[in-house]
Chain A
Amino acid sequence: MERVDGYAPIRDYALVGDGRTAALIARDGSVDWFCLPNVDSPSIFARMLDADRGGAFRLEPTVRFQAERRYQDSSNVLETTFTTAQGRVRVTDAMTLTDIKRISPMRELVRKVEALSGTVPLNWSFEPRFRFGQGETQIERRAGRWFAHCGSDAVVLGLANAGEGEHRNGSIGGRIELEPGGQALLSLAAAHNEPAVIPGPEDSRRRLERTERFWPQWASRVEYDGRWRDAVVRSALVLKLLTFAPSGAIVAAPTTSLPEWIGGGRNWDYRFTWLRDASWTLDAMLRLGYHDEAHAFFWWLMHASRLTQPRLQILYRTDGSVHTEERDLDELHGYRGSSPVRVGNGARDQVQLDLYGAVLEAIWLYAQEVGRLDGDTGKEVGRIADYVSDHWRDTDNGIWEVRDERTHYTQSKALCWVALDRACSLAEAGMIPDRSARWRSEADELQRFVDVEGWDDERNTYVRAPDLRELDASLLTLALLGYHDPQGERIRGTVAAIERELSEGPYVYRYRGDDGLSGEEGAFLTCSFWLVDAYARCGRLDDANRLMEQLVEVGNDVGLYSEEIDPRSGDFLGNFPQGLTHLALINAAVSIADAEAERRSA
């Protein structure tokens, strides 16, 4: 792995986490991204966003090495094996799960080193930089341990067979030399607003072993048994890490400001939950058999949106609050000079009508699963449907959060139709107050608008908007969410047009036109998986399988996907790993399996 100006390729990162926060570890053993105490908190390591000042926890051989990585079987425990001329050494990284029987650190990252053969010297360096590198970090040695603290945050470094460590210029560093069969352990125990818990090495080892046992048990519940089981299980494990356990919300990605183009300014904070992803999330969880997680997410969704109902905000914090003000961190250099680095997300103030379709679809999926909705929830859903009836004629920013002028996006209107259609279905099932006559009438008018104003007869496809005659890959969602029969002429024509005009090999661009922002961007991986899904639903199973085969190869060495990709170099772009891409992968794989089963039964 080669770093460019100190930055590792995004593709070379792997994720570990504990359901509250997560760390990104580069192939060379450096923990380059870690927020504490939660995934949306400020960082303690942000080398990804500033190679000099961001902070990191490095652990690598002192001699030239080759690194191979894998997750332990169906788990979120990462193993990196360094092979050198002098021997081999394995580093096992994990965030341990809380020990409910004994007091354990609020958050704990454990790094176990095992000498497999020969003697491989390793250097480690612990460089904490609280609050995105802006906090005043104090480092001191107490009770035989290194403490680093800043205001309400503290971390304790635990070392076993890893030397004592030396403090130099705000970093603590040391060297490990193990005989074959020897082990060392480094642990980072974090505290926030409370005294730090200082773990002994045996406690950390025990928690690591418990964590190693937990993940395969959790992953074994995946009910999908198709051809891409490995990729589906990995995606499920990623989604579990992106799920904020205390609330059930799922963040779009655990990072901020990884650029959509190197050197560009399209750098956003994704450590929030987008309501738009609701239907894909519920669908994926239910299709994989994760009913508890689906229920938790549904209740988070209904609870969080209660503050703004019947209007829904685009994104919420994982705790359900609505404060996501965007600001730039000018002191940080940005990934390979891609600035600004942003925290918070200004998209919350946008109007995105498509999200009502996603939310009503999620509610419909949940209601079908459970068989009922309680009275209050039913009334809330009815009010949301009324809001859609009143507001679908408004302009909006669209699914891609275009920061240009608002317009009448075809996909937004089609998803408003989905919202009203699902509301009618819920009313007919007696689960929500019945105002279906009005909702159906509005839905019919919506459909006329989409099918006339959003349709291009010559090209036989829906277009981005009546005033934007270009294509938009989000129109694939019309096939996925049942706006018209996916095997009908209109959907098949749209899928073919997107394939023709927006795809490049296995990759699909969101659109080609202007979006009010300067700079380029890569192809959007979610759209590639949506295309697979659409193929499967249109009856083009061979195409679906062929494209899926190509896309499964696109993941990195441990099966993770970013938001975007540079089709020419294959470099990952954007925040990483991206939940929406993994959701789309799962749903595409299951759609293929469903279509194959349907074909066999026919």
Chain B
Amino acid sequence: MTIWGALAGGAVGTIVLTSGLRIAQELGWTRMDIPLLLGTAFTDRRGRASVIGYAIHFTNGLLFALAYYAVFRAVSHAGWLFGAALGVVHAGLAGGALITVLLPAVHPRMGTPWSDAEETPLLEAPGFLLMNYGRRTVVWTLLAHVAYGAIVGGFAAQLG
């Protein structure tokens, strides 16, 4: 088990997670667009927002891989199955708190249940379990994060 394995898994896992959610978007299964949501926290130009959003998302993917690695070290075990289980927790964190509660709280252009949306253009808030972006969003978020966790766990176990 090595930190480099976890980071490599984080890079590959983020690509898979992002691509999976993008495919789900294109197939009409969700309206969630993570790069747009993240990037618009920094700029209100769509093109730039997507570029910035992708960079942030990729960086987050690596940082989360480090967090996974810390857990693997703590329990002295890594593997794709354990990684997938951590992915479920990760999905719960992302869908239940990070994107649902924290992002609207700090995002300068996102509506919340208590904003009146009168003056500034606002992005639609994700809602409980991201379901404002379509009911199936929760399913795809879960599957994408499970895939991410499995890849990080697998890479961390194998590359070392």
Contact = CB atoms under 8 A, between A and B. Distances in A.
Same assembly: yes
A198 B132 CA distance: 13
B115 A195 contact: no
Interface string A155-197: 0100000000000000000000000000000000001111111
B94 to A, nearest CB: 15
Contact of B45 (A100, A145, A195, A200): A100
Nearest to B119: A200
B112 interface: yes
Contacts of A195: 31-33, 36-37, 123-124, 126, 132-133
Interface residue tally on A, bucketed by range: 20 to 34
Contacts, number: 96
A191 B31 contact: yes
B124 A191 contact: yes
A491 B18 CA distance: 63
B49 A143 contact: no
A3 interface: no
A144 B127 CA distance: 14
Interface in B112-160: 112-113, 115-127, 132-134
A156 B124 contact: yes
A198 B29 contact: no
A149 B135 CA distance: 11
Interface residues of B, number: 35
B14 interface: no
A192 B30 CA distance: 9
Nearest to A191: B31
Contact of A104 (B113, B115, B121): B121
A151 B121 contact: no
Contacts of B32: 195
B28 to A, nearest CB: 4
B100 interface: no
A101 B118 CA distance: 19
B121 A152 contact: no
A199 B112 CA distance: 14
Nearest to A143: B111
Given A102-B44, A103-B46, A152-B28, A200 B121 contact: yes
Interface string A386-407: 0000000000000000000000
B113 A142 contact: yes
Contacts of B30: 152
Contact of A199 (B29, B46, B121): B121
B123 A103 contact: yes
B36 to A, nearest CB: 6
B123 A197 contact: yes
Contacts of A598: none
Interface in A127-155: 142-145, 147, 149, 151-152, 154
Interface in B6-29: 25-26, 28-29
A156 B121 CA distance: 12
Nearest to B33: A194
A202 interface: yes
B45 A101 contact: yes
B121 A145 contact: no
Residue from B40, B121, B133 with most neighbouring chain A CB atoms (10 Å): B121
Chain B contact residues: helix, strand, loop or mixed: loop
Residue from B30, B31, B40, B125 with most neighbouring chain A CB atoms (10 Å): B31
B26 A194 contact: no
B124 A193 contact: no
A479 B148 CA distance: 66
B109 to A, nearest CB: 7
B31 A198 contact: no
Given A103-B46, A151-B134, A194-B36, A143 B122 contact: yes
A201 interface: yes
Interface in A199-219: 199-203
Given A101-B45, A103-B46, A152-B134, A193 B33 contact: yes
Contact of B121 (A149, A154, A198): A198
B121 A197 contact: yes
Given A152-B30, A194-B25, A197-B124, A103 B117 contact: no
A202 B45 contact: no
Residue from A103, A193, A195 with most neighbouring chain B CB atoms (10 Å): A195
B44 A103 contact: yes
A198 B118 contact: no
A291 B26 CA distance: 34
A101 B36 CA distance: 15
A206 to B, nearest CB: 10
A152 B45 contact: no
A316 B57 CA distance: 37
A198 B111 CA distance: 8
Contacts of A151: 28-29, 134
Contacts of A201: 118
Given A102-B44, A154-B124, A145 B117 contact: yes
Nearest to A138: B135
Given A143-B112, A195-B37, A200 B124 contact: no
A142 B111 contact: yes
A154 B131 CA distance: 13
A192 B25 CA distance: 9
A253 B148 CA distance: 46
Nearest to A145: B117
Given A197-B123, A199-B121, A103 B109 contact: yes
B151 to A, nearest CB: 25
Given A101-B45, A102-B44, 5 more contacts: A103-B121, A142-B125, A143-B116, A152-B28, A203-B121
Interface of A: 100-104, 142-145, 147, 149, 151-152, 154, 156, 191-203
28 contacts: A101-B45, A102-B44, A103-B109, A142-B111, A144-B118, A145-B117, A147-B132, A149-B31, A149-B134, A151-B28, A151-B29, A152-B25, A152-B28, A152-B29, A152-B30, A193-B26, A193-B28, A194-B25, A194-B36, A195-B32, A195-B123, A195-B124, A195-B133, A196-B123, A196-B124, A197-B123, A198-B124, A200-B121
The 8 A-B residue pairs with the shortest CB-CB distance, nearest first, are A152-B28, A196-B124, A143-B111, A103-B44, A195-B124, A194-B33, A198-B122, A193-B25
